Amino acid sequence: MPVRHMDEVPFQEVKAGDRTTIQVLLEGPNFKMRRFRIQPGGGMPEHTNTVEHEQLVLKGRANIGIAGETFSVQPGSVVLIPEGVPHWYMNSGEEDFEFLCLIPNKP
């Protein structure tokens, strides 16, 4: 479907996360667009991926660890996580932390 509203896509639980859900908004031939929501106090433990992540913070505040360095992010922050780099997320605010995450469609 070329056009739809993101509210039409159900959220699914992220099993490795704590109070974390995901929507797969688009899955094109080259890229996948996902929206993550992390509730206050929730997060995702340190992990690595085989593809880069390009992210845009939509709502809330969080600390993100990338390659051993911690960054504080807020709405409007853009984040690049190179492939193979350890990273983690922790909602540091009092509201949901939401971000878009674009990744290449690779295994």
pLDDT in tens, 4-57: 999 999 999 999 999 999 999 999 999 999 999 999 999 999 999 999 999 999
pLDDT at res. 67 = 97
Cα end-to-end distance, the chain, whole Å: 23
pLDDT in tens, 96-106: 999 999 999 87
Tokens of 75: 């709405």
CA distance 34 to 44: 15
C-alpha separations of 20 from 30, 62, 97 in Å: 25, 13, 9
